[in-house]
Amino acid sequence: MSEVLLPGSTVGMLGGGQLGRMFALSARILGYKIVVLEPDPHSPAGQVADVHIKAAYDDELALKEFGTSCDVVTTEFENIPAHVLNLLSDYCPVRPRAFAVEKAQDRMVEKAFIKECGLLPVPYAEIHSEADFKQALQEVQLPAILKTSRLGYDGKGQVLVQSKDDLATAFASVDKVACVLEQRIDLQLEISVVLARNVSGESQCFPVGENIHQEGILYQSIVPARVDKGIAEAAQVAAQRIADKLDYVGVMAVEFFVTKQGGLLVNEMAPRTHNSGHYTQDACVTSQFEQQVRMVCNLPFGDTRLLSPVVMTNLLGDVWGDSQPNWDLLLSDPSSKLHLYGKQEARIGRKMGHFNTLSDDVMAAKQIADKIMQGLTPC
């Protein structure tokens, strides 16, 4: 039986972005000490940590200092090298472990793993060189999307392929690195499941969210999702199957495509808290960040009940323009809750914050959120 880490213990966070920040704030409310390892001296998570170790993720001396000062370590993003997590596990428990994180670092590995779970990924073909084009185009119908196998997120490393000629141009545009060619799906909608799994192998899901993207970046999450109850339950079962196969400990998310024919395809998994789970901060009994603290510290589950329909809306740097957004408009709406990430510079496409809009009716919440977004950008 793993040790229960009670308030007063020290939790380490690898990564200093907004997910690490919101985790750290939740942990501190519960009485835990937080150590962040992150090279950026102005990182959002570092700003609220008890200790901020400003070093590269592969700095062995810093990793030793980090690991020996923590009772448990977790991570806020999936691109930490597996050997770093394995090294840290010599000093304290690492949750999730390297095996689980590694599966999400490469699209080819991830899709093969999804198949091993008995689930369906989006139809795809692997491309390592131009020699793979012919076979790929036989396996995948056009239009399709060429995605780099590693390091792509929020629409980065993704190129639309409409014709055979487009494929060569797209492959060259990503410097001919290993890629997957994914069939473009005729979608009904996209949904995601955020779940938590404990040291004993038990798991609980948050309510299923419906996700709307703009230019490859999440714009809104609508909860409860406007989807058939059977599809929502199937997505939760599938996500739990993935977590079990990974022997996962912590909070993770699995994104799905729902086809117009009612099929359910696994898009990708994220071994961490997730943008589409931010609604839990204001609309659930327990947020995804508190739940992550509970899982890595081997505490009981918090209640995942949805208290109110909600729409989460991302705030990108685009909203800032040359000045500050019209915060008066958002803050004057009593049904909306603002969360800013403490980032020093607003840039186009950069996630700067989000707000949750609550209402008795989810479509009423969406109308309010959309109206706020229309008025936020300074004139």
pLDDT on residue 334: 97
According to DSSP, the β-strands at 310-316 and 351-358 are: antiparallel
Tokens at residue 42, please? Answer: 């102005």
Q: Break the chain down into helix, strand, coil percent, rounded to 5.
A: 35, 30, 40
CATH class of the structural domain 10-94: alpha beta
Tokens of 375: 């008025």
Dist CA 208 CA 195 (whole Å): 10
Residues of each domain in the chain carrying CATH 3.40.50.20: 10-94
**Two tokens at 324?**
């500050």
Structure tokens at 311: 């729409």
Burial profile 220-236: b = 16 or more Cβ within 10 angstroms, e = fewer = bbbbebebeeebbeebb
123-183, CATH topology level: Dna Ligase; domain 1 (3.30.1490)
In CATH terms, the fold of domain 187-376 is: D-amino Acid Aminotransferase; Chain A, domain 1 (3.30.470)
Compute the C-alpha angle 187/193/195, nearest 5°. 170
- Long-range interactions of 22-25: CB distance < 8 A, separation 24+: 22/273, 22/278, 22/281, 22/287, 22/289, 22/339, 23/74, 23/76, 23/273, 23/289, 23/292, 23/293, 24/48, 24/49, 25/289
pTM tops 0.75, yes or no: yes
Residue ranges of the chain whose pLDDT lies below 50: none
The tens digit of pLDDT for each residue in 159-191 reads 889 988 889 888 988 889 999 999 988 899 999
Percent of the chain scoring above 70 in pLDDT: 98
Q: Can you tell me which residue has the tokens 């505490």?
A: 299
Please give the Cα distance from 357 to 313 (Å, whole number).
Answer: 8
What residue type is 149 in one-letter code? S
The pair of structure tokens assigned to 16 is: 């200093």
| CA dihedral sign, ordered 155, 161, 166, 171 | positive
Measured CA to CA, the distance from residue 171 to residue 160 in angstroms comes to 11
Give the torsion sign (CA, 303, 306, 310, 314): positive
The boundaries of every CATH 3.30.470.20 domain in the chain are: 187-376
Q: What is the DSSP string of 209-265?
A: EEEEEETTEEEEEEES-SS-HHHHHHHHHHHHHHHHHHT--EEEEEEEEEETTS-EE
